[in-house]
Structure formats: C-alpha cells, structure tokens
C-alpha cells in the first residue's frame, strides 16, 4: 500500500471511528440497562479489533469491560471470543462465552439489520478487515442464533475473497458440517486445510472431532486429546472430551472422571454442568446427583435451558409443583418458540394440574415449533387417546408421525401397539408393534407388561 493510500485508509478509519462513537455514546445516558451498555462498549471493541492490529490491547480492555457487566450482550461476548482466537491465537474458553454457547439458539432482535449494517461498514475497512468482520458475524449467526440462511449468505461473500484466514476456513468447515451434510467432502477439505496452516487452532480441532465422531472415532479422539494437550486447563475442551467418552466411546467411568475434572476447573461452566446432570440422570440413574447438578447449572446461569427444565423436574420429584411451574414459565418467557420447553410445560399441565385444555394448546404450539419432535408427537397422541372418539381417531396421525420421526423410541412404539390393540382392534399390527417396542434397548417394563397382557388375553 502506498503512503498516500495508507493515509487515506487511516483518514477513513478516523472519520468512521468518530461517527461510530457519536452514534454509540449519544444514547448511553438514557439507558441504565447493563445489557445495552455491554452492546455499546462491545461494538466499539469490535471496531478496534477489526480495524487495526496495533489496537489489539485496547480492544481487549473494552471487550473485558463489555463482558464483565451483568447480562452481557451475546454479540459482544461472541466477538471477544472470536478476537481472542482469530487475532491473538489464544484458543481458551471464557466463562461468559460458554454461557452464551450453552443457551443457543439465542434470540437476537434485528438480525437482518445486523447484516445490513455490517455490509454498509465496508468502506471503513480494508478487504482483509471486512472479510474478518463478515466471517465473525456469520459464525455468530450460525453458532449462537442458528440463523443458517443468513450465515450462509455471509460465508458466500467471504469465500469470494482471497483474504480469509485459516481460522475463518475452519469455522466455515464447521458450518458445513453442522448444516450441510451433503457437503461432507468440502467440510473435510476445509478442516484439513485450516489445521495444516494453523495446527494450534483448538477451536478447529474440537469442531473437526465433532464431524469425525460418526465416521472415524480414532481420529476424532486424537484431535480431542491434542486439543487438551494444547490447553490443558480448559474446562470446555475437557467437557467436550467427556461428552465424547459418554456418547461415542460409551465409557461411562472415564466420562464421569472427565466431567468432574472439567467442573473442578470451572465450577460455573453451565454447559458442562448441564451435560453432567443429564449423564447422571440417563446413564447413572442417579436422581439425587442429577438434581444437584441441575441446581448448580441453574445457579451458574439462570438462563440455561437444561438447568431450568432439569431443576423443574427435580422439584416435581419432591412435590413442589408451584416451584416447578415458576421455572417452566420462566423458560417459556426466555425461549417462547422452543419445542422442548412448550412440550414439557404441556406435560406438566396435563399430569400435575389436570388442565387438558391448556395442555392441548401447549402441545399444539410445541408441534408447530418443531413438527418432527418425536417426544411431543407421541405425548400429544397419548393425550388424544384419552379424549373423545374424534380425538382417538386423530391420535393415529400423530402416532405415525412420531414413529416416523424416531422409529427406535420404545415408549412411542409401545403406545402405538396399545392404540392398535384397543382402539383399532387390529391384533396383527398390534403384535408387530409390541414386538418392536420390547426389542428396543432400554425398553420399559411397562411395554413388557402391556405385551404380556396382550398375549394372555388375545393370543391365548
């Protein structure tokens, strides 16, 4: 770049910075909301991060301020994490970001406007800086907001440039792995190319391991172990390895040991606490231990969905239905379109409040939010089976949808068998589904009891 063009670039940056500060600071005295202040300070920190490398330490200071406030802005927290990884090559987890990551998808107002503003700021940046800002926003939209289409649009713009870094390439590979399984080979290529250029990229290692876990278990484990060697005191990476040991290697003792090590390193990591709570509940069948972990998860981050729902369930086990309902309602206020939240509250209303009308309404909202959630489809079908004749007729539609969504769900298969036997009186089909239900690993004793009754009364 010539001296003249360097001066012109600096002048544009100075003018852009002044305009940004005017627009940001104009409204600060009007707001006492820490989240709003975090957004303002984080936006300025982002500007410093994306405009000049020599301002990196100054950006650090503003990011730390933005993320230290109560209820920090998710975008500010995400951009700080990106700044640490992409600019400073410090691949370490920060507790605030792990909270945001554990809450995903995070609802953020005006995503289209965020994209428009980022594109409009192009004149303030060099080509490399603009690409960095676009890639950071694309990653935020993908990982934190689950706004896949918007993220893909930005990534396509980034890929047209020759200026994107190995870190950006790795995040694009992760985007493809999560959202575009038909582009598996492209994802592999981008991961390998990224890690060849930047072998210390712990974020890339963890993301690549997630892709390989279903096809090359040994390679996935090597990546996770390499990541732990590079950041030996990082609770998030330990938590990812614990989850891998649990879900992929099916080694519960090793998984539990790793979960405990992770939690000892960061007792406030709500994502790891949530996974360990679910491990204790589903693998160890330790209701008391799981309840304690759900409680710790909730107090580490009151907005963590697993903590909210898990603690609600724990309160129900000690007959505190009012306390549980308070948590369900809080979850709905935070995640109004989440199918799991809506379905859980529908089940609570039916089983603990006896309110069929409201329960049916929440089941319908849950299915509208996610038409492929097998648990909600099956529960709504059971709800209909206990209704009038018209409802019973309609139940089969949802039972079929539930079986299609999850053909290995023993509870759904068993309920469909009961429906076929008692409502349809189709004994051949009922027997087929009874056999399917008891043949699934982890099938309940209830399915066996229903099948035994069927054999005793029908197949004498």
Query: What is the pLDDT at residue 162?
Result: 80
Query: What is the pLDDT at residue 372?
Result: 96
- Sequence-ordered list of residues with C-beta below 8 angstroms from that of 399, at least 6 positions apart, any chain: 377, 378, 381, 412, 415, 416, 419
What DSSP state is assigned to residue 83? Answer: I
Angle at 152 between CA 149 and CA 157, to 5 degrees: 135
pLDDT digits (tens), the chain, 460 positions: 444 344 344 434 555 655 655 565 555 555 567 888 898 888 888 888 887 666 778 888 889 988 998 889 999 999 999 999 998 999 988 999 999 999 999 999 899 999 998 888 777 778 888 999 999 999 999 999 999 999 999 999 999 988 789 999 999 999 999 999 999 999 999 999 999 999 999 999 999 999 999 999 999 999 999 999 999 999 999 999 999 999 999 999 999 999 999 999 999 999 999 999 999 999 999 999 999 999 999 999 999 999 999 999 999 999 999 999 999 999 999 999 999 999 999 999 999 999 999 999 999 999 999 999 999 999 999 999 988 777 888 999 999 999 999 999 999 999 999 999 999 999 999 999 999 999 987 777 888 999 899 898 887 6
Q: Are 59 and 48 in contact (CB under 8 A)?
A: yes
**Residue 328 burial (10 A CB sphere; 0-12, 13-18, 19+):** buried
**DSSP for 263-275?**
HHH-TT-HHHHHH
> Six-digit token pair at 370?
């996610």
CATH topology of domain 337-406: 1.25.40
Whole-angstrom CA distances from 31 to 21, 26, 34, 38, 428 are: 16, 10, 8, 11, 68
Give tens-digit pLDDT for 55-104: 778 888 889 988 998 889 999 999 999 999 998 999 988 999 999 999 99
Taken in order 210, 216, 220, 221, the sign of the CA dihedral is: positive
What are the structural domain ranges in the chain?
1-164, 337-406, 410-460
Query: What is the pLDDT at residue 11?
Result: 39
Instruction: State phi, psi for 39 to the nearest 5 degrees.
Output: -65, -45
Q: Are 167 and 86 in contact (CB under 8 A)?
A: yes
């Amino acid at each position: 770049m010539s001296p003249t063009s360097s001066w012109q670039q600096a002048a544009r940056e100075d003018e852009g910075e002044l305009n940004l500060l005017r627009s940001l600071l104009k409204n600060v005295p009007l707001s006492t909301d820490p989240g709003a202040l975090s957004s303002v300070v984080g936006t300025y920190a982002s500007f410093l991060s994306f405009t000049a490398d020599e301002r990196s330490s100054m950006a650090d200071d503003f990011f730390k301020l933005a993320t230290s406030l109560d209820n920090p802005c998710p975008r500010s927290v995400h951009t700080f994490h990106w700044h640490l990884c992409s600019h400073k090559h410090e691949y370490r987890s920060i507790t605030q970001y792990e909270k945001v990551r554990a809450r995903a998808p995070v609802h953020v107002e005006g995503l289209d406007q965020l994209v428009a503003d980022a594109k409009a700021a192009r004149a303030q940046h060099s080509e490399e800086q603009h690409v960095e800002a676009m890639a950071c926003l694309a990653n935020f939209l993908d990982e934190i907001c689950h706004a896949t289409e918007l993220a893909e649009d930005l990534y396509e713009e980034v890929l047209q440039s020759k200026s994107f870094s190995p870190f950006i390439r790795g995040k694009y590979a992760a985007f493809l792995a999560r959202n575009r399984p038909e582009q598996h080979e492209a994802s592999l290529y981008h991961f390998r190319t990224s890690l060849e250029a930047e072998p210390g990229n712990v974020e890339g290692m963890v993301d690549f391991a997630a892709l390989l876990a279903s096809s090359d278990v040994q390679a996935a484990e090597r990546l996770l172990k390499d990541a732990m060697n590079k950041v030996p005191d990082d609770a998030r990476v330990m938590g990812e390895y614990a989850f891998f040991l649990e879900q992929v290697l099916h080694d519960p003792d090793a998984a539990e040991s790793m979960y405990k090590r992770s939690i000892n390193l960061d007792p406030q990591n709500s994502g790891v606490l949530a996974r360990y709570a679910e491990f204790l509940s589903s693998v160890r069948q330790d209701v008391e231990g799981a309840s304690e972990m759900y409680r710790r998860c909730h107090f580490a981050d009151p907005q963590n969905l697993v903590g909210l729902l898990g603690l609600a369930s724990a309160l129900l086990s000690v007959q505190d239905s009012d306390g549980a309902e308070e948590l369900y309602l809080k979850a709905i206020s935070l995640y109004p379109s989440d199918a799991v939240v809506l379905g859980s509250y529908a089940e609570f209303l039916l089983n603990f409040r006896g309110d069929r009308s409201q329960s049916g309404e929440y089941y319908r909202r849950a299915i509208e939010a996610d038409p492929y959630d097998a648990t909600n489809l099956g529960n709504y079908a059971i709800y209909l089976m206990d209704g009038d004749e018209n409802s019973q007729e309609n139940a089969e539609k949802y039972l079929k949808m539930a079986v299609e969504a999850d053909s290995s769900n023993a509870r759904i298969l068993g309920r469909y068998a009961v429906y076929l036997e008692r409502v349809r009186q189709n004994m051949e089909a009922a027997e087929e589904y009874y056999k399917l239900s008891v043949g699934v690993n982890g099938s309940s004793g209830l399915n066996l009891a229903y099948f035994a009754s069927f054999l005793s009364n029908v197949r004498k």
